Amino acid sequence: MQTLIGKPVTRQDAKLKVTGAAKYSAEFALPNMTHAVLVTAPVGRGTIRGFDLTEAQAAPGVIKIITHENTPKLREIDQKSAREAKASFGEFRLPFQSPDIVYNGQAIAVVVADTYERARYAAALVKADIAVLPPTTTLHDALEIDEPKGKRAQSERGEPATTFGAAAQKFDETYVTPYEHHNPIEPHATLAQWDKNGDLTVYQSSQSTSGPQATMAYIFELDKEKVRIITHFVGGGFGCKGAGAWAHDIACVLAARETGRPVKLALMRQQMFAGVGHRGECEMEVQIGTDGAGAIEMLSQKTLTQSHNDQPSFFETAGLMSRLMYRAPNYEMEHRVARNNVSPPIYMRAPGEAPGSFALECAIDEMAHQVGVDPMEFRQQNYAAVDPESGLPWSSKQLAQCYSRGAAMIGWNARQQQPRMIREGRYLIGYGMASATYPGNRSPAAAQCRLYADGRAVAGSNGVDIGTGAYTIFRQVAADTLGYSLDKVIFELGDSRLPYAPVAGGSQLTASVAPAVVEACELVLQEVAKLAVADNKSPVFGRSLEEVGFRDGLILLKSYTLKNEPIASVIARSGKPFVEACCRAETMASAKGNEGLKQQNNAPCNVVEPEPETDQNKEKYAFHSFGAQFCKLRVDEELGTIRLLDWATAIDVGRILNHRTARSQMLGGIGWGIGMALSEETLYDPQTARPVIRNLADYHVAVNADVPRIQVEFIDTPDPHINSLGCRGVGEIGIVGVAAAIANAVFNATGKRLRELPLTPDKFV
């Protein structure tokens, strides 16, 4: 029956987006709406002695100015209760609660006026008298250094220190990745409205509606049902829109409450460089010890990364990839966290793996060179047939195929093992490769499906399509399961009133929601079957439910398919406008008999997040996606410039639900990886801790001119254990290994080993 899944179907929202009909959070307008602009701290550290608001308050159109001096205290966040309530915060310090300034760009006031321009003008007139302290901005002048505990921070197996000491060949180098910012093209925006009953509606640029709903309910002490979050379209999320709330979201909701009017707050591009997350700087030491024959006996990755004294939990888990990528019997991972006056970091596309893969995959390349073998061969020689950390078998791993397919696409045979061997005119040519991996995550999720008497189907879930194609693939899954044509099916997302979905983060939305969509659609067909067998005008009247089948929008007898009628007519005769079903899929399913799947069918459609179950499959298998990145580039040695010539990626993310949208995810990830490798870097002024790069002219993200032809091949083998569809996520793995493949190709071209990103011309000196 499944004919649409896998097909490169065009996006359900394509026309809406290209015609401008798709409404992003900042584009909604409500009657009586006002506009808010944040005032942010101009210093990195200090205490506000007081405000002079005289001029700002007298400016035209000003309705209210909120500072810590005049606003009611908000609930203090206690981590345990916040976790229980599923509230999540990019920054745990709520705005306007104290005079302390701990980073440059921190929200210190919000100005509400009748127009945006007037609010912005008045915000410029707010004067704060600040007792300034010297800030810290680097890993090495940090206020304090923490050593986080737990499996994601520290790990050891075997005897790493002694094995390294005795290794036949040793490698030990340190790699550095800079501060980076997400820079989605849609800056964060929030529009909040409180109605007379105290119900709160928030249009929020977010990667989730369930997360902000829980978070706003927690902060403003409301029942979840009284909070509605709407996020129909997001212009790029990448992690910065993954937290339940940032200071500006809370400031907006607070301002709406204090003024009694709807308030819209849209961040300026410059404000996107503080207070909405970034990737912390990482300094990563990698040690490798091999035996005489090139087998890795010992591997370690030790990371020092930036965080903020307000962010107790998040740091860049750069070592995680090294834990599982190669069969290294002796292993050590360590993370240390330097707390300074740069704003709190947050997950950013492939958090951990993106910077971590730069260190690991360059080090592997360096060791291969030292041992004197082809770097792909070296990786194959040290292939991890099972998860080296847990000893569990992989749910599905096609990395060996990825290596060979990627090598074939790029023409790896043309590579010379010795650097500086290929020259074309003034350019040196190099080939490089790296491995990629990302966890195969899945969380509980729910979906609903309604079949209408006019022949339409409307299915939905409260997840958010952050530009990935979620609307489209869930529509395909629903249409296939129902046997409806695509044009009869609409998939709804982005409204917290729909059934629960997890955040579109951690590459988990597809793997989590798609199986719930299948279940809901199968269930709604069963509801139709029940109607039909009780309906004396139906061709299946009086039959048992087991005898009833469905095909192409028809209800029929499995044994005699000529006896059929459209599903829509059955519904029409019932007198109901639609038939509905809802399903929540709670744990890992297996295509083989759905072992471990527990679902609660036809639960009320506004089901809240179920408690995580013990996941039987997670105890049996290690779930990871894998891939291989290959590139060819040229270096102009005199100018120190790098130009990509060709790219090939082979990738195993289980079964592909839509080749077009999946490929787009890969193109986005690889393109971003090229920017990460060559140009992206946020610099801070050490005196003020101010980001001195805070626009898209200075923060150069890769553009078409930087990106060569990209060939993507999916291995497209269903993962038999992740869920009933066999699909893992594809959102983040694309960026992993890209910078390493480039740095490795630069070495192959020039013989120069660059260990600090970005690979700008000055690094060749």
Which residues of the chain form contacts with ligand MOS (CB under 6 A)?
A: 207, 237-239, 242, 347-349, 351, 505-506, 732
Q: How far is the CB of 506 from ligand MOS (least distance, A)?
A: 4
Q: Which residue lies nearer to ligand MOS by CB, 238 or 621?
A: 238
Output the smallest distance, CB 503 to ligand MOS, in A: 7
Residue 228 beta carbon to ligand MOS: minimum distance, rounded to whole angstroms: 23
User: Residue 236 or 460: which CB sits closer to ligand MOS?
Assistant: 236
Q: Which is nearer to ligand MOS, 160 or 242 (CB)?
A: 242
CB of 434 to ligand MOS, least distance (A): 19
Tokens 């903020």, located at residue: 308
Nearer to ligand MOS, 511 or 579 (CB): 511
Considering the complex, state which of residue 326 and residue 438 has its C-beta at the smaller distance from ligand MOS.
Answer: 438
Coil/strand/helix, residue 586: coil
Nearer to ligand MOS, 204 or 398 (CB): 204
We find the least distance from the C-beta atom of residue 234 to ligand MOS, in angstroms, to be 11
Cα distance between residue 656 and residue 520, in whole Å: 21
Nearer to ligand MOS by C-beta: 102 or 738?
A: 738
Choose between 479 and 735: whose C-beta lies nearer to ligand MOS: 735
H or E element in which residue 229 lies: strand 227-230
Task: Find the shortest distance in angstroms from Cβ 54 to ligand MOS.
Answer: 43
Minimum gap (Å) between residue 524 Cβ and ligand MOS: 31
Element (H, E) at 630: strand 624-636
Q: Which amino acid is at 534?
A: A
* CA distances, 229 to each of 219, 267, 416, 494, 625 (Å): 14, 19, 56, 8, 32
For ligand MOS, which is the closer residue by CB, 200 or 240?
A: 240
What phi, psi does 478 have (nearest 5°)? -65, -45
Q: Which C-beta is closer to ligand MOS: that of 239 or that of 654?
A: 239
Q: Least distance (Å) from ligand MOS to the CB of residue 237?
A: 6
- Minimum CB separation of residue 83 from ligand MOS in Å reads 18
CA distance 56 to 119: 9
**Residue placing its CB nearer to ligand MOS in the complex, 71 or 508:** 508
C-beta of residue 712 within 8 angstroms of C-beta of residue 706: no
Give me the least distance between CB of 760 and ligand MOS, in Å please: 25
- Residue-by-residue DSSP string for 268-281: -GGGGGSSS--BPP
Query: Minimum Å distance from CB 324 to ligand MOS?
Result: 18
Residue with tokens 């971590």: 356
Residue 429: name the closest of 249, 220, 581, 642 by CA.
642
Nearer to ligand MOS, 555 or 730 (CB): 730
**Closer residue to ligand MOS, CB minimum distance, 354 or 407:** 354
Nearest-angstrom CA–CA distance, 574 and 578: 9
Residue 169 CA from chain centroid, whole number: 38
Nearest CA-CA partner of 301 in 253, 358, 228, 242:
358
Structure tokens at 336: 């240390």
- DSSP track, 385-415: SB-TTT-PBBS---HHHHHHHHHHHHTGGG-
CB of 267 to ligand MOS, least distance (A): 18
Query: Closer to ligand MOS at the Cβ: 644 or 733?
Result: 733
Residue 165 Cβ vs ligand MOS, minimum distance, rounded to whole Å: 38
Rounded Cα–Cα distance for residues 509 and 487 (Å):
23
Which residue, 164 or 438, has its beta carbon nearer to ligand MOS? 438
| Smallest distance from ligand MOS to CB 584, Å | 22
Query: End-to-end alpha-carbon separation of the chain, Å?
Result: 61
- Tell which residue, 381, 365, 383, 377, has the closest CA to residue 413: 377
Closest CA to 612 of 507, 742, 500: 500
Give me the least distance between CB of 466 and ligand MOS, in Å please.
8
Least CB distance from residue 575 to ligand MOS, whole Å? 45
**For residue 36, which amino acid is it?**
A
State the minimum distance, in angstroms, from the CB of residue 182 to ligand MOS: 8
- DSSP assignment of 9-30, as one string? PPPTTHHHHHTT-SPPGGG---
How far apart are the C-alpha atoms of 444 and 450, rounded to whole Å?
A: 21
Closest residue to bound ligand MOS by CB:
239
Return the structure tokens found at 581. 């079903």
- C-beta of 347 vs 484, nearer to ligand MOS: 347
- Cβ–Cβ contacts within 10 Å for residue 151, how many? 10
C-alpha to C-alpha distance for 212 and 206, rounded to whole angstroms: 8
9 or 735: CB nearest ligand MOS: 735
Helix (H) or strand (E) holding 437: strand 427-439
Tokens 């069918």, residue located: 601
Q: How many CA atoms lie within 13 A of 682 on its CB side?
A: 27
C-alpha–C-alpha distance, residues 471 and 119, integer Å: 36
Spacing of C-alpha 307 from chain mean position: 19
Phi (first) and psi of residue 575, to 5 degrees: 85, -10
Q: Which residue has the tokens 């104290």?
A: 98
> Measured between alpha carbons, how far is 465 from 501 in angstroms, rounded to an integer?
11
Prior bond of 761 cis (ω within 30°): no
How many whole angstroms separate alpha carbon 471 and alpha carbon 15?
A: 13
727, 618 Cβ separation under 8 angstroms: no
